[in-house]
Amino acid sequence: GIQVEQSPPDLILQEGANSTLRCNFSDSVNNLQWFHQNPWGQLINLFYIPSGTKQNGRLSATTVATERYSLLYISSSQTTDSGVYFCAADSNFGNEKLTFGTGTRLTIIP
């Protein structure tokens, strides 16, 4: 199955800084999503982005499918951005198994 690797595993930033999280995947994808898990454990879907670029407020994501990676950008970080960011991908239309990476833990310091 597809392998999904995320980097860095941990990131500590001052409030107001910008950050870039990376997701590498081992196969061509037809589904790639980014999720945020807040410190209370709640998982929120951020982007569905198998290719191209999307933006939602201070967050944006870019997937370069031909080079098998996706980037999540967070600008002007706020303490509420803290948590774990997961990338998940799949390469098979008939398979329900969305493979998750192990996540990037982001800590924003006031």
Residues near another protein (CB under 8 A) are 4, 30-31, 33, 35, 41-45, 47-48, 50, 86, 88, 90, 96-98, 100-103
Q: Are the C-beta atoms of 75 and 58 separated by less than 8 Å?
A: yes
Strands 83-90, 104-109: pairing is: antiparallel
**Least distance between another protein and beta carbon 93 (Å):** 8
Distance, CA of 105 to CA of 42 (rounded, Å)? 14
**Least distance between another protein and beta carbon 63 (Å):** 14
Would you mind telling me the total number of residues written for the chain in this entry? Answer: 110
**Least distance between another protein and beta carbon 1 (Å):** 8
Question: Closest CB to another protein among 98 and 109?
Answer: 98
DSSP code per residue over 24-56 = EESS--SEEEEEEE-TT--EEEEEE-SSEEEEE
Question: Closest CB to another protein among 67 and 96?
Answer: 96
Question: Closest CB to another protein among 4 and 106?
Answer: 4
